[in-house]
Amino acid sequence: MRMIRTTFLLASVLVGRVHGEDEAMSTNLSNGIVFPFVGLGIGNLQHELIEQVVRSSLQPDLDIRLIDTAHASSNEGILANAIVSSDKGRNLSYQTRGGTETLPPIHVVSKVWYTHLGYERTMISVRETLEELGSVSTRQVYVHMLIHWPRCTDDIEWMNCAEEESNLPQHVRDAGPPPHLNKDDAWKGSWAALEDIYAEFSSQRAESLTTWQPPIIASIGVSNFDLDDMKALLEIANIQPHIYQGDIWLAFQDPVLFRHLRDNHIFFQAYGVMNRIIQGREDSPSAFSILSDIAREVASTMHAAEEYKDRSLIVTEATVLLAFCVQYGIGVIPRASSQDHRNENSPSVIAAVIPYISTSHFNQLLLAVPAIMKGEDLHASISFMNSLPGPIQIHWIHAETGQEILVKDIIHPGSVEVIQSHPGHRFVAYDAEREIRREVAVDVGYGGRQHFTVEL
């Protein structure tokens, strides 16, 4: 049975109503545009791989309808050619119970690089993006244009503000002043440009519902803005941003920013999800093991279900995390050059997995996912209260050898000590003379706390 909660940080009223599988994998932006939860990131993908990756991702079995890139990646034209190549030979219109329909639209998120901040420079960047995508005539393209960074700063190692400025084409340099010399305000001119070009496409957005149009600016937003920048933006904006793109860890490490986005009906789209999965295996082994256990349980349940036919489907930790993000109201754009990984991360697989994530699974993920995002591990806490007249020692009992290893050499009478442990671990407490021996096993789950009193 599908699980619907009203306790999401992004309430269901903001992320769209969940009725069918297709609608469950999309949300309504604040301007009413239907926007996919799950996409494909190609921003840093090698150019020679893009066509093959995009062609396979657009096939009906994966059902990718959102692709994320950036103007600075210089691949928007390659993407357009890949979409057309993928659609060649396919039936561009097909019969449904409601009549004849065309191929579903493609949503492309692109971004204005910090060298193009300022009104005129941003206009150049956006026009170039639309021109690069303009060769797609096989289906509707909705472009979601973001400001990539609010500024260039030499405090970030890989940003080279003056050098990048000097390498720009002359027509861009002539269009406006160097934005790195006006770090506080250059992005404000960019936002004014995005508002103007968004308004310019208002009639095309309406007409695209019935008639194919060249690529349309469907929404605008920002990426990598901090809380102060967002507050400043919302103060000056005539049109509020529809999308905020940021690292997945922001949703869990910066709850104030995340709540600010929610309160202003700004959809959070996360990048970096796969990197966090890779790091989590090493940095957060206990939290990662929860994802592994849930993946195995979900796969087993799905394969045992009578109505589930595809026994070959593999549910991985990444699949579980992406499904959790969708349930949590967060958009995700995983990058994967491997066909197997694209399958595991696809909207069709995630949509199939979500109904099998139980309430118990979801509650476990509420503990595990924030720990993984923060690079921390989960523990089960056990507190020892010394009610004996003299001091005590605490030893951990090795599960395989039975060896007792000292973990706390002294707890004074009346004192309490808390030890971070794991479910199932066993401890023993001794008095100073080792005449009193009290043994206890940790019987709470991760995130839980157990109390144990050492007494006569």
Which of 335, 301, 304, 337 has the alpha carbon at shortest distance from 318? 335
pLDDT at 103: 86
1, pLDDT greater than 50: no
Residue range 195-215: mean pLDDT, rounded: 92
pLDDT at 94: 46
Least confident stretch, 248-257, 299-308, 379-388? 299-308
pLDDT at 403: 94
Q: Which residues contact 393 (CB under 8 A, 6 or more apart)?
A: 406, 408, 409, 410, 411, 429, 430, 432
- Given pLDDT bands bounded at 50, 70 and 90, which one contains residue 396? very high
Q: Which residues contact 41 (CB under 8 A, 6 or more apart)?
A: 67, 68, 69, 271, 333, 334, 335
Residue range 394-409: mean pLDDT, rounded: 94
pLDDT at 45: 93
Q: How do residues 139-168 score in pLDDT, each as one tens digit?
A: 999 999 999 999 999 889 999 999 999 999
Q: Please tell me the pTM assigned to this model.
A: 0.85
pLDDT averaged over every residue in the chain: 89
pLDDT at 310: 59
3, pLDDT greater than 50: no
Assign residue 385 a region (left: φ > 0; alpha: ψ between -120 and 50; beta: otherwise).
beta
Do 224 and 147 touch, CB atoms closer than 8 A?
no
13, pLDDT greater than 50: no
Q: How do residues 321-371 score in pLDDT, each as one tens digit?
A: 999 999 999 999 998 778 888 888 899 999 999 999 999 999 999 999 999
**CA 357/CA 1 separation, integer angstroms:** 9
Distances from the Cα of 201 to the Cα of 28, 103, 208, 268, angstroms: 19, 22, 10, 23
**Token pair for 97:** 């119970």
**CA 431/CA 414 separation, integer angstroms:** 13
Q: How do residues 68-108 score in pLDDT, each as one tens digit?
A: 999 999 999 999 999 999 998 776 654 444 555 678 999 99
**Token pair for 9:** 């940080």
447, pLDDT greater than 60: yes
Q: Which residues contact 357 (CB under 8 A, 6 or more apart)?
A: 3, 294, 298, 320, 323, 324, 327, 365
